[in-house]
Structure 1
Amino acid sequence: METDDLASFQTLLDQWAEAIVANDAPRIGSFAEPDWVIVGPEGGPGELEPFLAVIESGDLTHSQMAFEVLEARVYGDVAVVLAHGTNAGSWQGAPFTADEWVTEIFVRRTDGWRCAFSALTPNYAALRADTE
């Protein structure tokens, strides 16, 4: 694991998080491949266009998002990134918070890295700690 890779993907995920907190659908989309897929505990697989549509409609908003990149493995033009992520926001007016392990698959394009797949796994250890 290269320190430069960790720093590069930390910067990339920080910028993506800023776009998500800004609830800026076009900017959020610029970090992803057109056929990006997300799978999370709420459901999935989900595609980019419907995801951006719920942001544009205001049904999904984020007030906080942060990532800590734990590993970044680059295999030529593909990278696998493991991060710890936390976020808060609202879904159709109902507030939510999340503490998750995030696995991202990126592909290198001429203008930089784009995310192709995102998998979100709840951090159940943190959830148990919150209820004790």
Structure 2
Amino acid sequence: MTSDDERAVREAVVAWDLAMVGNDASAIGTFMAEDWVIVGADGSVSDRARFLALVALGDLQHDVMETHDMRVRVYGKTAVTVARGVSGGHYRGHPFLLDERVSGVFVQQEGAWRCVLTHLSLLAQGER
């Protein structure tokens, strides 16, 4: 059985994917907590302001953002997600298409589920 909170987290992730493909920094930011952090597949760490600036400047553009096989666990006002993600587009003019394991931590803030941490790991060729 799926709880209302689990369903709301899933819906937020799908809406976030759509915002990413829309390349609208303002819309993307609504899914992130102010102190959101992303750990890239290469181990780099970035924050909300830097990420959204890359989008706003057009340095980071997505034409693909898909979430597959998502698992969601809700712990009160916190939720943890693990999924396979497909991310593609251009970073500073260079094309990319990545198949990744995506982990997220979401918290309930002001009636919405917002992400506080995203962690990415590249999937080995053929792994799903």
TM-score, with normalisation over the residues of structure 1? 0.88
Residue 45 of structure 1: how far off its partner (Å)? 1.2
Residue 43 of structure 1: how far off its partner (Å)? 4.3
Query: 2:9, 2:79 within 8 Å by CA — same for their partners in 1?
Result: no
Please tell me whether residue 65 in structure 1 is matched to residue 84 in structure 2.
no
Instruction: Report the equivalent of 2:113.
Output: 113
Instruction: Report the equivalent of 1:23.
Output: 23
Q: Distance in 1 between matches of 2:10 and 2:32?
A: 16
Question: Where do 5+ consecutive residues of structure 2 fail to align?
Answer: none
Per mean C-alpha deviation after superposition, the further-off stretch among 87-96 and 62-71 is 62-71
Partner SS for 1:104: strand
Query: What are the residue-to-residue correspondences of 1:77-116 with 2, within 5 Å?
Result: 77-116=77-116
Counterpart code for 2:31: F
Please tell me whether residue 3 in structure 1 is matched to residue 6 in structure 2.
no
Residue 11 of structure 1: how far off its partner (Å)? 1.7
Question: Where do 5+ consecutive residues of structure 1 fail to align?
Answer: 128-132
Q: What do residues 20-79 of structure 1 show as CA deviations (whole Å, max 9, x unaligned)? A: 000000110110001100001244210000000011111110001110243111111111
The verdict on how the C-alpha distance between 1:3 and 1:71 changes in structure 2, with shifts beyond 3 A counting, is same
Q: Distance in 2 between matches of 1:25 and 1:80?
A: 24
Structure number having the greater helix percentage: 1
Q: What do residues 76-118 of structure 1 show as CA deviations (whole Å, max 9, x unaligned)? A: 1111011111011001111100101100000012321000000
Q: Distance in 2 between matches of 1:6 and 1:122?
A: 25
Partner SS for 1:3: coil
TM-score, with normalisation over the residues of structure 2? 0.91
Query: 1:38, 1:117 within 8 Å by CA — same for their partners in 2?
Result: yes
